[in-house]
């Protein structure tokens, strides 16, 4: 049977992003990078939990079940249920004129319909007024609102007499969870076909959920605005836009979209092979008449933090770095430092001259390092912010700080993994114990403290606010401690800049160091391999076991080596972190409930923390995941130490 080519709501949204994508979508010959992105997958998991929570408030709701592809059958089942005067349906399906939608929650009372779209996004419901700004724009909410506008359009075609009211059901940042363990009532699991599902206790009722943390936000005004003015594409009416997309998708005709800055992050950007095409390469070769290899040249949008790239690409057709000159940047120099624009110029010039050597402002870096006070303290936090709080008293997306690692570098070169903290006890809000442990650890000396980028400062500011609303006996001391090691962020009620305000190693990198190996990224996951690649000192030192390099570790054995080579290439130390459940038998693995296999990035650490909230997890499995978290966080602070050691090598 030939597959029906229907314009579904996800295809409609994809077309809004770039209409050409309609041609590539769901074709096996075009790979889609989003299909295998673990970070997107973990985000999606939070969405499933919120959807399940939202359904709880409609206990009589009936879900439309069936194979996703069997559109007609799903629509028929919905239609049958809709014969009832009053009903609530989850995933109600509508099919008309080759348009297909499913509605998260449909609440019908006669002809009055509530169309409820559930999102794991958050809002301050008390102060919210409208998503429309003065110019008729809708900012970051545009795609969600267009999604609902499409749903309402299709539903109204099916049932012209219905009075449809549209709502978003969102996590309310003004609401406080009144029960413990709310998040874990909606357990994420993978079905046998590897699709995410949610398991909740059979006996669960609304009463078990405490006070609601989701809010219903009426969006009728916004949907009316889209239907009438189609602000994203005012040349066409909303209906014309849908028909335009539908016609091209149905007939499998590619809509030509000029390439440009919007191609950054295109999910069809893959490496073409004889069996797999890359939609990105197809678009770019077609428009520029260049070979696929030439298309792979570095693009203008890859210049780090370059605001001018959009204009240059979209208006002047300067798509590649080799087309850029100094005149394209507004060059501003800073004495003794690499300014943002100078850094961009260095990146462009090194790229264009095939120069792979790092650029370092040695004198400036030396002066910076000379201002540091030994012993040096390197800290890193692992934190979580989820839509459905883990513990009572917390709000959606409130920061939970569950882990830190602390390395100390002494003036004589000794490096100590000095302390660490990890609290994964289900139902415990860890932040106050976390900050107490951090205080104890950092007050062991008076040396400089280092973080990598803003996260640690943001988190201690969040804990500051949480403490102000707490009854902790040592609140005053903890507040003073936070002030001593941080500065206030923009939304803080008071102003401070601590005498030991954490030094941002990311900023040190940005101010004094550029390595083409990083391709312009200053993230620690890019800077560490670059430093290891350039530094004879690091290569020599870290290819020896821990016991031989004046280093202590709390989580790795004495004979562990952080640096390994493969075919003369250094392996990124994060890639050699031991997998979880190594040497577990199949029988033991079958009894695990976490569905984790490694913790080698921040996203995996978040997922691990969430899974550790499962009360019923065996202590053996719990310990295994904790060990993985501890190793990962230790490596994060050791990575900062390695970058410091590289800089010391450079200035001496």
Q: Is 309 in the site for ligand SF4 (CB under 6 A)?
A: no
Q: Indicate which single residue of 279, 396, 516, 529 sits in contact with ligand SF4 (rule: CB under 6 A).
A: 279
Angstrom distance (rounded) from CA 52 to CA 59? 11
Among residues 71, 141, 186, 268, the one that binds ligand SF4 under rule CB under 6 A: 268
Structure tokens at 47: 């969405």
257 scored as a contact of ligand SF4 (CB under 6 A):
yes
* Contacts with ligand SF4, 16-45, as mask; x by CB under 6 A: --x-xx------------------------
Q: For residues 638 and 538, give the distance between their C-alpha atoms in angstroms, rounded to a whole number.
A: 12
Exposure string over 495-523, b if 16+ CB within 10 A, otherwise e:
ebebebbbbbbbbbbbbbbbbbbbebebe
Question: Exposed, middle or buried, 436 (CB in 10 Å: 0-12/13-18/19+)?
Answer: middle
Using rule CB under 6 A, residue 283 touches ligand SF4: yes
d(CA 484, CA 457): 11
Nearer to ligand SF4, 24 or 418 (CB): 24
Contact status, residue 238 vs residue 230, Cβ threshold 8 Å: yes
Which residue, 257 or 484, is less far from ligand SF4 as judged by CB?
257
Output the smallest distance, CB 267 to ligand SF4, in A: 8
Please report how close the Cβ of residue 16 comes to ligand SF4 at its closest, in angstroms: 12
Interface segment toward ligand SF4; rule CB under 6 A; list 149-157, 261-269, 347-355, 500-508: 261-269
User: Nearest approach, Cβ of 273 to ligand SF4 (angstroms)?
Assistant: 18
- Class of residue 5 by CB neighbours under 10 A (exposed 0-12, middle 13-18, buried 19+): middle
Range 118-147, binding ligand SF4 (CB under 6 A) = none
- State in angstroms the smallest separation of the CB of 45 from ligand SF4: 26
259 interacts with ligand SF4 by CB under 6 A: yes
- Please pick, from the candidates 95, 263, 503, 606, the single residue that binds ligand SF4 as defined by CB under 6 A: 263
d(CA 623, CA 400): 20
Pairing of strands 415-422, 449-451: unpaired
Torsion of CA 44, 49, 53, 54, to 10 degrees: 10
Q: Is 249 in the site for ligand SF4 (CB under 6 A)?
A: no
Report, in Å, the least distance between residue 59 CB and ligand SF4.
43
- Find the shortest distance in angstroms from Cβ 98 to ligand SF4: 22
Segment lying near ligand SF4 (by CB under 6 A), choices 79-87, 120-128, 204-212, 263-271: 263-271
CA-CA distance, 118 to 210, in Å (whole number)? 19
Angle between helix 142-158 and 238-251 (nearest 10): 80
Q: What's the DSSP call for residue 374? A: S
Two tokens at 185? 């009532």
Query: Where does this chain touch ligand SF4 (CB under 6 A) — which range of 74-82, 275-283, 421-429, 576-584?
Result: 275-283
Asked if 280 touches ligand SF4 (CB under 6 A), the answer is yes
State the helix-helix crossing angle for 431-442 and 475-485, rounded to 10 degrees.
60
Between 265 and 336, whose beta carbon lies closer to ligand SF4? 265
How far from 159 is each of 82, 99, 155, 168, 243, CA to CA, in Å?
11, 14, 6, 21, 19
> Does 9 interact with ligand SF4 (rule: CB under 6 A)?
no
Contact 362, 651 (CB under 8 A): yes
Residue 277 in contact with ligand SF4, rule: CB under 6 A: no
Nearer to ligand SF4, 21 or 406 (CB): 21
How big is the CA angle at 454 (ends 452 and 457), to the nearest 5 degrees? 105
DSSP 443-469: TT----EEESSSHHHHHHHHHHHHHHT
Say if residues 174 and 395 touch (Cβ distance below 8 Å).
yes
Binding segment for ligand SF4 (CB under 6 A), chosen from 157-165, 259-267, 366-374, 416-424, is 259-267
Q: Does 543 help bind ligand SF4 (rule: CB under 6 A)? A: no
- Binding residue for ligand SF4 (CB under 6 A) from 82, 101, 266, 508? 266
Nearest distance from C-beta of residue 304 to ligand SF4, angstroms: 21
Least distance CB 324 / ligand SF4 (angstroms): 20
Residue 149 Cβ vs ligand SF4, minimum distance, rounded to whole Å: 22
Taking alpha carbons only, the member of 150, 141, 104 closest to residue 12 is 150
**What part of residues 591-620 is at the interface with ligand SF4 (CB under 6 A)?**
none
Whether the bond between 375 and the residue before it is cis, its omega within 30 degrees of 0, is: yes
Out of 262, 337, 392, 453, point to the residue binding ligand SF4 (CB under 6 A).
Answer: 262
Give the nearest distance from C-beta 260 to ligand SF4 in angstroms.
Answer: 7
Least distance in angstroms from the C-beta of 266 to ligand SF4: 3
| Interacting positions 430-449 with ligand SF4 (CB under 6 A) | none
Helix axis angle, 505-512 to 619-651, nearest 10°: 40
Binding residue count for ligand SF4, defined by CB under 6 A: 12
Is residue 364 within 8 A of residue 342, CB to CB? The reply is no
Instruction: List interacting residues with ligand SF4 (CB under 6 A).
Output: 18, 20-21, 257, 259, 262-263, 266, 268, 279-280, 283
């Amino acid at each position: 049977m030939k597959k029906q080519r229907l314009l579904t709501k996800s295809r409609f949204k994809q077309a809004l992003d770039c209409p050409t994508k309609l041609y590539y979508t769901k074709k096996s010959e075009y790979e889609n990078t989003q299909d295998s992105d673990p970070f997107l997958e973990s985000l999606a998991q939070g969405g499933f939990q919120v959807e399940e929570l939202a359904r709880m408030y409609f206990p009589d709701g009936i879900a439309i079940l069936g194979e996703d592809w069997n559109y007609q059958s799903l629509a028929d089942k919905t239609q049958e249920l809709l014969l009832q005067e009053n009903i609530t349906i989850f995933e109600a399906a509508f099919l008309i004129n080759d348009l297909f939608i499913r509605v998260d929650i449909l609440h019908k009372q006669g002809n009055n319909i509530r169309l409820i779209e559930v999102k794991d996004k958050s809002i301050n419901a008390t102060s919210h007024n409208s998503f429309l700004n003065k110019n008729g724009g809708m900012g970051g909410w545009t795609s969600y609102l267009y999604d609902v506008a499409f749903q309402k359009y299709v539903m109204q075609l099916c049932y012209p007499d219905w009075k449809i009211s549209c709502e978003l059901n969102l996590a309310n940042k003004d609401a406080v969870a009144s029960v413990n363990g709310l998040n874990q009532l909606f357990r994420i699991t993978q079905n046998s076909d590897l699709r995410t599902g949610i398991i909740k206790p059979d006996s669960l009722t609304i009463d078990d959920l405490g006070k609601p943390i989701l809010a219903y936000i009426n969006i009728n005004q916004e949907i009316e605005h889209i239907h009438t003015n189609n602000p994203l594409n005012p040349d066409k009416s909303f209906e014309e836009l849908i028909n335009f997309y539908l016609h091209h998708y149905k007939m499998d005709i590619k809509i030509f979209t000029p390439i440009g800055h919007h191609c950054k992050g295109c999910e069809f950007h893959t490496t073409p092979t004889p069996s797999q095409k890359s939609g990105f390469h197809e678009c770019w070769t077609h428009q520029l008449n260049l070979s696929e290899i030439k298309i792979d040249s570095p693009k203008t949008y890859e210049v780090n933090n370059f605001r001018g790239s959009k204009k240059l690409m979209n208006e002047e057709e300067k798509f590649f770095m080799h087309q850029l000159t100094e005149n394209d940047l507004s060059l501003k120099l800073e004495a003794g430092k690499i300014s943002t624009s100078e850094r961009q110029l260095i990146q462009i010039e090194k790229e264009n001259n095939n120069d792979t050597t790092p650029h370092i402002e040695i004198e400036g870096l030396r002066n910076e390092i000379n201002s540091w006070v030994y012993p040096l303290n390197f800290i890193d936090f692992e934190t979580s912010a989820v839509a459905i709080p883990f513990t009572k008293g917390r709000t959606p997306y409130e920061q939970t700080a569950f882990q830190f690692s602390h390395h100390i570098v002494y003036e004589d070169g000794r490096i100590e993994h000095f302390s660490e903290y990890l609290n994964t006890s289900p139902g415990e809000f860890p932040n106050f114990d976390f900050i107490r442990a951090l205080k104890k650890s950092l007050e062991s000396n008076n040396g400089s403290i280092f973080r990598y980028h803003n996260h640690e400062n943001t988190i201690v500011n969040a804990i500051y606010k949480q403490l102000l609303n707490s009854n902790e006996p040592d609140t005053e001391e903890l507040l003073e401690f936070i002030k001593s090691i941080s500065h206030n962020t923009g939304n803080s009620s008071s102003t401070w800049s601590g005498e030991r305000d954490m030094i941002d190693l990311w900023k040190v990198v940005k101010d004094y160091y550029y390595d083409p190996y990083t391709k312009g990224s200053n993230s620690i996951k890019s800077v560490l391999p670059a430093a290891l690649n350039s530094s004879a000192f690091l290569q020599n030192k870290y290819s020896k076991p821990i016991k031989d390099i004046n280093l202590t570790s709390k989580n790795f054995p004495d004979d562990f080596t952080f640096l390994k080579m493969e075919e003369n290439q250094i392996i990124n130390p994060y890639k050699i972190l031991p997998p979880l459940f190594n040497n577990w038998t199949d029988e033991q693995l079958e009894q695990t409930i976490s569905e984790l296999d490694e913790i080698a990035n921040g996203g995996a650490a978040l997922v691990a923390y969430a899974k550790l909230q499962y009360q019923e997890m065996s202590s053996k499995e719990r310990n295994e995941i904790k060990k993985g978290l501890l190793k990962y966080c230790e490596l994060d602070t050791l990575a900062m130490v390695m970058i410091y050691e590289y800089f010391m090598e450079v200035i001496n």
